């Protein structure tokens, strides 16, 4: 029978909004207790760097609150945002497991709360608890598949308009809402969106204006309302 401390952890996990999204949730009480003993949770302001591309891995990071942009940079200073991680996601896990340097840089976009697991502690946790090792393996396999899909969707679409349409459709899929029309809260700047789809800020601004003119979308401040999903799907698939 779980200890009162273990029951407290289970109740805390049940109440957590991330329970369906994090690989370290919905685990047995004894495993949650082990994680509780090794984790370090810290609050960060926007613009805080969690780890840097090429850095020797210190451990893995769990985004509890906020968003984190993951990007790579070229020698001439150009930046490509690979994706934006949201609450519930685990970052730097592949490097923490393999010992290879971090493949990208992680920087907070919002005021964020992040839990850190040291590499040695994570390794011991995986050796002592088979459930954790299986979750980590499943997560890495899933991220590989998702990355292939994301790269295929963006890189095989030639026009900037098609890439932006693809990105908006991905945002819609993540929103997972049945409400029509779909309303999205977009807090990325046009510059950051340009870094995601590999174009210029001016091009992103122009394409958004074209989408509004065609009445495919409406924008009010940071809110984007999708009026014609079919048109975006047709453009993304062209």
**For the chain (length 238 residues), average pLDDT per consecutive 10?**
41 44 80 92 96 96 94 84 89 95 95 95 94 91 77 70 90 80 89 89 95 94 92 85
Assigned CATH class of 157-236: mainly alpha
pLDDT at 238: 63
pLDDT at 15: 41
Say whether 157-236 and 39-154 share the same fold: no
Domain boundaries, the chain: 39-154, 157-236
Assigned CATH class of 39-154: mainly beta
The pTM (predicted TM-score) of the whole model is 0.72
Task: Please report how many Cα atoms fall inside a 13 Å half-sphere around the Cα of residue 227, on the Cβ side.
Answer: 9
DSSP bridge pairs for 224: 184, 219
pLDDT at 95: 96
pLDDT at 11: 42
Burial class (CB in 10 A: 0-12, 13-18, 19+), 130: exposed
Cβ–Cβ < 8 Å for 108, 46: yes
Distances from the Cα of 73 to the Cα of 58, 80, 191, angstroms = 21, 6, 15
| Backbone phi, psi, residue 163, to 5° | -65, -40
pLDDT at 2: 41
Strand order in the sheet with 39-44: 39-44, 112-118, 59-65, 90-91
Contacts of 15 (CB under 8 A, 6+ apart): none
pLDDT at 92: 95
Separation between Cα atoms, residue 84 and residue 67, nearest integer Å: 7
């Amino acid at each position: 029978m779980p200890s009162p401390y273990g029951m407290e952890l289970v109740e805390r996990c049940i109440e957590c909004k991330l329970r369906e999204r994090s690989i370290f949730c919905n685990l047995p009480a004894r495993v949650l207790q082990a994680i509780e003993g090794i984790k370090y949770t810290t609050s960060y302001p926007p613009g805080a760097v969690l780890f840097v591309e090429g850095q020797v891995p210190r451990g893995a990071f769990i985004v509890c609150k906020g968003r984190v942009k993951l990007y790579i940079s070229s020698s001439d200073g150009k930046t490509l945002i690979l994706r934006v991680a949201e609450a519930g996601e685990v970052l730097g896990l592949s490097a923490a497991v393999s010992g290879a340097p971090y493949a990208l840089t992680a920087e907070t976009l919002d005021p964020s709360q992040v839990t850190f697991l040291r590499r040695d502690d994570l390794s011991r946790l995986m050796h002592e608890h088979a459930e954790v090792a299986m979750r980590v393996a499943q997560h890495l396999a899933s991220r590989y598949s998702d990355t292939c899909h994301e790269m295929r969707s963006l890189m095989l679409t030639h026009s900037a308009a098609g890439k932006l349409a693809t990105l908006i459709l991905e945002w819609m899929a993540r929103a997972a809402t049945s409400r029509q029309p779909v309303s999205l809260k977009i807090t990325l700047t046009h510059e950051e969106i340009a870094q995601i789809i590999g174009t210029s800020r001016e091009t992103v601004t122009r394409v958004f204006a074209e989408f509004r003119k065609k009445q495919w979308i409406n924008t009010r401040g940071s809110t984007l309302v999708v009026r014609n999903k079919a048109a975006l799907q047709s453009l993304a698939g062209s």
